[in-house]
Structure formats: structure tokens, C-alpha cells
Chains A and B, each alone.
Chain A
Amino acid sequence: MAAIRFNDLTLGYDRRPVVHHLQGEVRPGALLAVVGPNGAGKSTLLKGIAGAIEPLSGSVGLDRGATRIAYLPQAADVDRRFPISVLDLVSMGLWRRTGWLGGVGRKDRDAIEHAIAAVGLTGFEDRPIGALSGGQMQRALFARLLLQDAKVILLDEPLTAIDAKTAADLLDLVRRWNAEERTVVAVLHDFEIVKAVFPETLLVAREAIAWGPTADVLTPENLLKARRMIEAPDPAAADCRRAA
């Protein structure tokens, strides 16, 4: 049983496909990096898995146990000026348990404290989120992911604009999720990190260019092919020029 299955999946906006005819499976417990040039459709693919956008055609199949997905969008659109504390932001991860009116009990408080400690933000609980640096904010969002306790975790460029120490700490959490047999799919740009941490890689550029063991995917030929795919002029436009 696959954690995520792509059935001839085409995603896009306004009927314009961004990623098309994607076919394949992500097995449960996989640690998969999604790489590709800018505009290749990586973020669109994560949105499609998370259900934030509807497929233009085809479908995303999720394992029953994997219907609980935690999704961290690119530079999450958090309103940092809203006056709530780090503790309150992290506690949002408990939504599925607490819902609208459920209380936050002693056990929940312990879980929140644990998550905050795991990302190294102990002592920052009462700080307003507006006072956090970019790296601290990303740590807080990872703490919220921890509390969500999801089987499938989607991360969209989680390490962009993050210093080396913070990146290393956050990658430790990714490894921990992998050890707990959670499925992690992360969009990344740094190939060194991909090679060091992610055993499997999907290279996309409008379609899947290569998918498999990282070393086999990140070859110069594949990367060149991906870049050509994005830079290639639109065939329709070429026809037009010739017709004129």
C-alpha cells in the first residue's frame, strides 16, 4: 500500500497545466526530496497532495492512514503582527484533538512543552511571534508540525533563508520523523542536503524527469534535461513565428 499515489495527475491553475501526467507511488515511511528548477511545479505538486488545489485531471490517492497530512507551505503565510505568543502558535498543531472548544489539558501542555523543547525554543514560549527571527519562526512552525503528529509531512522549501545551525537542527527533526516511519516529502534546492539526508529524489520540470535513488536522479544529464524543459520555448509560439 502506497502512502501517496499519483494517478496520471495533472495540476495547474486556470486550466493551464504546471505539472502534468505524473504517475507513481510514494511508499509509507519514504524520505523523498522534490527538486527542480524554479517554476518546475514543485510547490504546485505539494499543494496538490495537501488538497489545497484540485487536480485538472487524474487524482492523488492517499492511504487511509495517511489522510492526516501536515503541510508546511513555502514561507508560511503567517501574519507575524498578530498579537499571539509562540506557545499559542505552536498549540494550533493540536487542532485535530481540541477542535473549536476542547480544553488544553495537562497532557497537552506537556506535549506542547516537548515540541517547543525539541525545536530548541524553550524560554521563548511567551514571546509574541512578531519578535521572532526568521529561523526561530521556522523552528516554531516545525514545533507545530510535531504536534500535528501526522503520518505524511509535506515541507515546501523549509530551509530557505535559514542559517546553517537552524537548518541542521530542523534536518535532525526530519530524520527523526523518518525513523518514526512517517512519510516526508520535501521541496529543496540544496543538492548537498538532498544527497546527505534524502535517499530518494523526484526531479520535476513540468513532468517527472527522473524519480528514484538520489544518486541516480541527480545526474548532470537529468539536470540538463530539466533545465531545457523549463527554458524550452512554447511550441505553439514557434509555430506562430514560422507561419508569419
Chain B
Amino acid sequence: MSPYDAVIGPFAEFEFMRRALAGSIALSLGAGPLGVFLMLRRMSLVGDAMAHAILPGAATAYLLTGLSLGWMTVGGLAAGLAVALLAGAVARTTALEEDASLAAFYLLSLALGVTLVSVRGSSIDLLHVLFGSVLALDDATLLLLAGISSVTVLALAVLFRPLVMESVDPGFLRSVSRMGGPTHLAFLGLVVLNLVAGFHALGTLLAVGIMMLPAIAARFWAKDLTALIGIATGIGIGSSVAGLLLSYHAGLPSGPAIILTAGGAYAASLLFGTERGWLTRLLPRRHLEA
């Protein structure tokens, strides 16, 4: 197999591969930076919880309206935002910490979704909801993915300064501005928005993967926030390309192949990363002048 057949051919030959590529690159552009902030704010598992919280909303919409892109997006967004807002409100007004109340709400939300689906008891195609359909992106879905990615990048540009301040020193931001709370909420909103986008392409169970794995892998290569965001986005895009090719050549399901590739990038970073990767730590290095 020539390099052309291995790398370029599948995309040149098949439109569905090109669509999948465009969709997953759009996804990586928005999800990468958000993943970095989630990781740095020690909220990596919050993304996971939110991804689960989306499922019942989307499943309910699917039951009521069939495979409607619009309604499933609205349903997922509504469920995700409701869980985020309720968890935040409970954390602020009671003795519960945010992670505890989030766990309570997403479990409730997940159980509700599964119950709804089983009460209807039909042979609905839950595989689409669970694992997405990156190889069957139509125009509308592609536009939605591109739109969400554009909104995310623009919103992050506006939010960047208060978001960094809210992450580093929330008390200070509170003392100079009232934007702390709204910034946090807008950030959670963007996370939900991107998870909904991810679930159209990769499914609810994998959507959080393209957000978190590149960010976590990037931590082994950079110290600086800007570099972290750039590297995470790059790893996301690289995993999309490599994962799609892997799925094409090996006949694997494409969503899981993309996430597996991103997982491979994490494993490689863990071993070879220049920022305290395992193997790099074994190399003898002289300490710097004081």
C-alpha cells in the first residue's frame, strides 16, 4: 500500500470520510481548549458526568420525535444545562460540595433516561445515541458541528481572561468584578454545547473522550497555558485523522477508533512526554544552576 493509499486515498475517494474528517476536526477545535480548562480546574470527571446527563434528554427527544437532529440537540442541551445549574445551585446553597451534588443529579438523570427508554420498550436504535455516527454526518449535522465549534472558539476568546482568573484565584475575581459566577456558568454551558456536538458524531459515551484525552496528554508536553491549548487541539485533530484511517483500514467502528487513537496519544505522552513523562524521568539530568 503506497503512502497515498494509506493516508490520502480514503478521504479523496469517499465523501463520507471527508465529512467525518471535517466534523471531527470541528469538534477537536472547540473541545480541545475546553478540555484543558476542565483538567486544570480539576473538573475532568465533571465532563464525564455532564456527558451522562445529556443522554436522557437526547433519548427522550428521540422517543418523542424520532431521529431529529434539532430536537435531540435541544433535549441534550436542556438536560445537560439543567443538571449543571441544579448541581451549582445545590452546591452554593447547601453543605454539599459541587462534585457530590453533580454526582447525585447525573445519576438521577441517567436512571430517568434509561427508565424512559425501557418503558417505551421498543427496538429503537440506541446505538446511534450511545456511539454516534461519524460516518453518516449529513449537511445539517455538519453545519451544527461547525457552528458549535465557531461559537465555542469565539466565546472562549471573550471569556479567556475572566476564566483564567476564576480558575487561578476566584476570590480575587469576586473582589474586583461580579463576572465570576456568569463566567463559570458560561463555561459549563460551552462544555454542554460541545458534548452535545460530540454526541452527534461520537455518541454520549465517547463525546467526553475527544475533550479530555487530548488535554490530559498535552499536560506531558507543556507548562504554559497557551501551549497546552495548542497541543491539546493538535492531538485532537491528529487523533481524528489517525482514528478515521484506522477505522477505514482495519474495519473498526470509527467513533471508538478516534477515542482509542487519542488514548494511544495519552499513553505515548505518559511514557515519552518531556514534562515529567515516565521515561524522561529515568534519563539522568543535571540540575540547573541555582
Contacts and interface: CB of A to CB of B under 8 A. Distances in A.
Interface of A: 50-52, 69-71, 73, 76-79, 81-85, 88-89, 92, 95-96, 98-101, 128-129, 144, 148
Interface in B216-249: 222-225, 228
Nearest to B158: A100
Given A83-B225, A100-B158, 16 more contacts: A50-B175, A52-B175, A70-B175, A76-B169, A77-B169, A78-B168, A78-B169, A85-B224, A95-B161, A96-B176, A98-B161, A100-B162, A101-B158, A101-B161, A128-B223, A144-B172
18 contacts: A52-B175, A69-B175, A70-B175, A73-B171, A76-B172, A77-B170, A79-B168, A81-B40, A82-B40, A82-B168, A83-B222, A84-B164, A84-B168, A89-B168, A89-B169, A92-B165, A100-B179, A129-B168
Contacts of A82: 40, 164, 167-168, 225
B171 A77 contact: yes
Contacts of B172: 76, 78, 92, 144
Contacts, number: 64
A83 B40 contact: yes
A100 B161 contact: yes
A119 to B, nearest CB: 16
A50 B172 CA distance: 11
Contacts of B92: none
The main secondary structure of chain B at its interface with chain A is helix
Interface of B: 40, 158-159, 161-162, 164-165, 167-177, 179, 222-225, 228
Contacts of B225: 82-84
A83 B172 CA distance: 17
A82 B159 CA distance: 17
B175 A71 contact: yes
B107 to A, nearest CB: 28
A79 to B, nearest CB: 5
